[in-house]
Amino acid sequence: MTIYIDSNDELHVEYQGIALTCPHCQTLTHLTPAATPGFASLNRHRPKHIGIVFRCDACGDPVFLKFAVKSYSPQRVELAPNYLEVERARESFPLTYLPDEAEALFREALTCYSAGCWNAFGAMSRRTAQSLFRELGERGKLELFDTLQEIRALASLDDDTFSTLRAVLFGSDSDPWPHHPAMNAENAGILLEVMRDILYQTFVRKARLLQAMTFRKYVAPQVPEAHARTT
């Protein structure tokens, strides 16, 4: 993808333009440039990085992206195609179904993930797991481990990924150094999906089923006595 600003201050994005998940409306959408730095001023100051404000095509809110400048020439300012999202979309999860302490910890974990702080996300995921082990007891801990094994089989996780996940969630802070694996964008992304699945299986699914059952009981039509006897 070639991306540049021409001498008329216009931003050109070749191929399909820029699309991302909007941090405001959470829609995967295209962006339209709303404010681009002026060509003359860029060529005069020659900054290494520049910021451009876009408008989300779905909700119209501003989205700010930072680009590294590849080169300056009298015709165009060429930008590197990979950009930095200043505000990233927040990861969501039905947190209210979790026990209070786990809810607070996992909320912070999601904030770390949205900020791209992968190691902080790993550490907060471990704290969430530790809180759940305390809440659910030894049997609950074993069940959570079984769920992790199930996910391993369902998602065909390779051995390296599985041992990273096991070390993050089931490792102890007193393990030999490094007691927590180093996290990066890739393994943090997998950990996020695993955390979602484990928490969903353990709390959300059960709570929603119970709610639905209670609702069914409450709204069940009353069968007339006589009719009930004949059927």
Q: How many residues bind Zn ion (CB under 5 A)?
A: 6
Q: Does 24 bind Zn ion (CB under 5 A)?
A: yes
Q: Judged by CB under 5 A, which stretch of 24-32, 78-86, 106-114, 194-202 contacts Zn ion?
A: 24-32
Nearer to Zn ion, 22 or 148 (CB): 22
Instruction: Tell me if 40 contacts Zn ion by CB under 5 A.
Output: no
Sign of CA dihedral 182, 185, 186, 187: positive
Contact between 25 and Zn ion per CB under 5 A: yes
| Chain centre to alpha carbon of residue 201 | 18
Residues 6+ apart with CB under 8 A from 152: 162
Exposure b/e, 122-141, CB count within 10 A at least 16 = b: bbbbbbbbbbbbeebeeeeb
28 interacts with Zn ion by CB under 5 A = no
Given the complex with Zn ion, which of 20 and 151 has the nearer CB atom?
A: 20
What is the β-pairing status of strands 19-21 and 11-13?
Answer: unpaired
Q: Which is nearer to Zn ion, 24 or 166 (CB)?
A: 24
The position carrying tokens 């015709």 is 75
Shortest spacing between CB 65 and Zn ion, in angstroms = 14
Quick one: 24 or 152, whose CB is closer to Zn ion?
A: 24
By the criterion CB under 5 A, which residues form the site for Zn ion?
22, 24-25, 56, 58-59
